[in-house]
Amino acid sequence: MPPFSEKLKVNSVRLVRRRDIPEGLWTKCEECGEIIYNKTLEEDFKVCPKCDYHFTLSARERVAQLIDEGTFKEMDKDLASMDPLKFRGPKSYAVKLKEDRAATGLVDAVITGEGLINQKKVAVGVTDSRFIMGSMGSVVGEKLTRLIEFATDKKMPLIIVSGSGGGARMYEGMLSLMQMAKTSQALAKHHETRQLFISVLTNPTMAGIMASFASLGDLILAEPKALIGFTGPRVIEQTIRQKLPDGFQTSEFLLEHGMIDNIVHRKQLKASLHQLIEFFQPV
């Protein structure tokens, strides 16, 4: 057995080696615990190579994955939320907006614009769960409505990727709730002109987002194992005092029960969207 001084020396060498390893090079999978080299994770579309868990993407990462490089033209990028209620809580609304803008680099919880998917023109919007859980306030609703109206006027296919765990943004009261009706009405007019709308649901898509535009697609696609619904499963169980079925509110459960049209792996999403546009709206 080595003397104590030798063991101390070995442990010191190990500590030095660990300190020499730069931080931020590895990510632990939230599903299986696998430690993944960040470069590998980026190359794999932020999908775990072991268990296929789909990590959350930012709105800009999503746009970069779906839209042909250099073709995206952002719309209404400076549109910013006000604080109509002067909301106060543990944090004021003004402070929350400031913090999330600094943390995400976004002005609000959605990016909208036009671009190309394999050379096909599309209007695209992506919500971002990092910004107040992707909840829909007046700016999110207004930007999406303008995007829908743009797609209708230009007779372009419309794609909205929803990654919103929050629904209507309580900080804005009725101004937030009315966005559900406003976006739905814009989509009704889009539908009347027989233009294609593909709704893509990612983890999570919940509450007022799911109860409005996200559920109104001509085609509704979802990523694997995404949480999709209105109220969270724990709240439902506490309310009805019953155990929910296994996999309840996952994309797989919704596909089995006819609530969505298909589950598409992130690596195939761009190609699938292009094929659907070619089939349903070739011109």
Task: Specify the pLDDT at position 2.
Answer: 56
Instruction: Calculate mean pLDDT across residues 13-27.
Output: 58
Closest CA to 122 of 55, 60, 198: 198
How sure is the predictor about 23, in pLDDT bands with cuts at 50, 70 and 90?
A: low
Provide the b/e sequence for 99-122 (b: ≥16 CB within 10 Å).
ebeeebebbbbbbbbbbbbeebeb
Task: Specify the pLDDT at position 15.
Answer: 46
How sure is the predictor about 283, in pLDDT bands with cuts at 50, 70 and 90?
A: low
Task: Specify the pLDDT at position 112.
Answer: 96
Instruction: Answer whether residue 111 shows pLDDT above 60.
Output: yes
Least confident of 117-131, 203-217, 228-242: 228-242
Question: Does CATH number 3.40.50.300 belong to domain 56-280?
Answer: no
Closest CA to 140 of 200, 182, 187, 84: 182
Q: If you average pLDDT over every residue of the chain, what do you get? A: 85
Looking at the DSSP bridge assignments, the partners of residue 113 are 74, 124
Domain definitions of the chain by residue range: 18-55, 56-280
Task: Specify the pLDDT at position 6.
Answer: 54
Closest CA to 172 of 79, 80, 83: 83
Residue with tokens 């080595």: 2
Task: Specify the pLDDT at position 245.
Answer: 67
- Which span out of 145-149, 175-179, 208-212, 252-256 was modeled with the highest average pLDDT? 145-149
How sure is the predictor about 3, in pLDDT bands with cuts at 50, 70 and 90?
A: low
Contact 228, 205 (CB under 8 A): yes
Terminus-to-terminus CA distance in the chain, angstroms? Answer: 78
Instruction: Calculate mean pLDDT across residues 113-132.
Output: 93
Task: Specify the pLDDT at position 18.
Answer: 47
**Which is higher by pLDDT, 80 or 33?**
80
pLDDT one-digit tens code per residue, 145-192: 999 999 999 999 999 999 877 778 888 888 888 999 999 999 999 999
